[in-house]
Structure 1
C-alpha cells in the first residue's frame, strides 16, 4: 500500500498564530518540530496499517518546514518550491490513499489561521460554484486521480469542512477554534496518539474513490483587480468581474493552473502596499 501525505502547518497540534507558522516568527522553529511530529504520528499509523511506502510532501508556505533529521526515516520527503502541483506534488494514481496533516479551514470561515492559499490576497474560491479552499481543491484533485482521501487533521472547523466534502474521510481535531488566532488545544501526547491510531484505522477501512475526469469550473476572487487583469493573459481564463477570474478544465489541469495563478499573484503583489 502506497500512502501519500500532504503536510500543511496551520492545523498542526499547538499552532495558533502567524508567529508560529511564518519565518522568522518567534515560535516558527518550535512549530517545525510540532509539524514534523504530527507527520511522524501519521507515518507510524500508516506503517501499522501495512503501508509499503509513505511519500510526504511539505506543503506549507516556503515548503521547507519539515525537519528531515527528525522525520521518520521510513518516509520519503518532497521539500522546497516551486512545484507544478504545489500541495499535491508527487501524488499519482499509483497511490492508495491521501493523508492531509495540519490543514486549516478556508478563507472567511472562523477557524484557526483560516485562509485560502495566500492569506488576504485570495478572498474566495469556488469549484463548480461551491465555496472551497485548500481542503476542497485537494480532495477534488485526489478524486481526479482516483485516490481516496483517508484522513485529515487540523482544528475542528477544518475537520467539519472536510466532512462536508466527504463524510467518509476520518478526521482528528487537534484543537478547537475560539477565534482565528486562538484555540483550546488537545494535549500533544493525546493528539499524536489520535493521529496515529486514526490513520491506522482509516487505512484499514479505505473507501473507494471514483475517478472524476469531468470538466470543472474554478473561480477565484482576488483582493487586487491587478492580479485578475494579469491572469487573463493565460489562455482560457476570463473575468467575471474586475477581481474574479474563471476557467474551466479537468481537475488536474485546474489544480496545476491554479498553482500558476499563485505564482503570478506573488509577482504582481511583490511591491509594498501603496496605502
Structure 2
C-alpha cells in the first residue's frame, strides 16, 4: 500500500493565530513541532495499516515546516514548491493507493477557523460550479483525477464536515473549533493519538469509493479582496471578469482548472 499525505498547518490542534504559523515569528517553532507530531502520527497509523511507502508533501507556506529528524525511516518527503499545478498535491500519481490530509482548515469566508482561507489571504471566496470551495475541495478533485481516493482528513471541525459532504465515507479527526478570533482545541497529545488511530481505521476498511463526484464541466470563480488583483489576472487565457473583484474560468478537464488556479492566484 502506497500512501500520499498532504500536510498543512492552520488546522493543527492548538493553533489560534497567524503568528503561530508564520516561520518568521517567535511563536512558530512550537507550533511547527505540533504540526510535525500530527504528520508523524498519520504516518504511523498508515504504516500500522500496512503501508509500505509513504510520501509526505509539506504543503504549508514555504513548504519547509516539518522537522525532518522526527520522520520515520519508511517516509519520503517533498519540500518546497515546484510550480507544478498540482500544488499541495504535487508528487501524487496513479501509483498511490490513497491520499490523506493533515492540518487542514476552513475555506475563505468561513467562520470555522480564525485562520480560514483558500490558498491566499488575498482571496475572499472561491467557488467551484457555484459551491464554495476549500483547499481540500481542489485537492480531493486533484486526487480523483489520478483515481486516488481521499481516505482521511484531520483539521478544524468545519473542514471535517465539508470533507464528509464532498467525500462520503472519508475518515476525519476534528482538532479545533473556531469562535471568532478564538479556538477551542483538543489537547495536542489527544489529537495525535486520534489521528494515528483514525488513519489506521480508515485504511483498514474498503475505501475505493472515497472519491468526489467528477463533473462534465468545471467553472471556478475566484473573488479577490482587491479589485486590483482581479484586474491583473484577468489576462490569463480563457479567464473572464465575473464582477469587480472576481475572475471566472471554465474547463472540462480538471487539470486545466488546476493550471489556471495556479497562475490566477500567484
TM-score by length of 1: 0.90
Which of 116, 119, 134 is the aligned partner of 1:117? 119
For 1:5-24, what aligned pairs fall within 5 Å after superposition? 5-24=5-24
Matched, 1:30 2:64: no
1:98 maps to 99
Q: Where do 1:205-224 residues align within 5 Å?
A: 205=205, 206-208=207-209, 209=211, 212=214, 214-224=216-226
Counterpart contact for 1:83–1:89, Cα < 8 Å: no
Give structure 1 regions of 4+ aligned residues with deviation exceeding 6 angstroms: none
Question: Do 1:168 and 1:207's aligned partners in 2 also have CA atoms closer than 8 Å?
Answer: no
- Partner SS, residue 246 of structure 1: strand
Instruction: Look up the match of 1:257.
Output: 260
User: Does the 8 Å contact 1:231/1:261 carry over to 2?
Assistant: yes
Task: Measure, in 2, the Cα distance between the counterparts of 1:243 and 1:7.
Answer: 30
SS across alignment from 1:252: helix
- SS for the counterpart of 1:91 is coil
Q: Which residue of 1 aligns with 2:235?
A: 233
Counterpart CA distance in 2 for 1:150 and 1:257 is 26
Aligned twin of 2:78: 78
SS in structure 1 at match of 2:200? helix
Cα deviation for residue 216 of structure 1 reads: 1.1
What is the CA distance between 1:213 and its match in structure 2? Answer: 7.0
- Counterpart-to-counterpart distance in 1, 2:178 and 2:123: 22
Q: Are the equivalent residues in 2 in contact too, given 1:11–1:103 (CA < 8 A)?
A: yes
Partner of 2:172: 171
CA RMSD in angstroms, aligned pairs only = 1.6
Q: Deviations along 1:181-230, whole A, 9 cap, x unmatched?
A: 32222122221111011101111122323783733111101112222222
Corresponding residue for residue 204 of structure 2: 204
- After TM superposition, the score normalised by the length of structure 2 is 0.93
- In the alignment, what sits opposite 1:135? 136
Gaps of 5+ in 1: 264-275
Matched with 1:52 is: 52
After superposition, give the CA deviation of every residue in 1:138-196 in whole Å (9 maximum; x if it has no partner): 122211221111011011112112122122111001223233x3222212222111101
**Cα deviation, residue 99, structure 1:** 0.5
Query: Is the Cα–Cα contact under 8 Å of residues 144 and 211 in structure 1 kept in the other structure?
Result: no
Q: CA deviation at 1:247?
A: 0.9
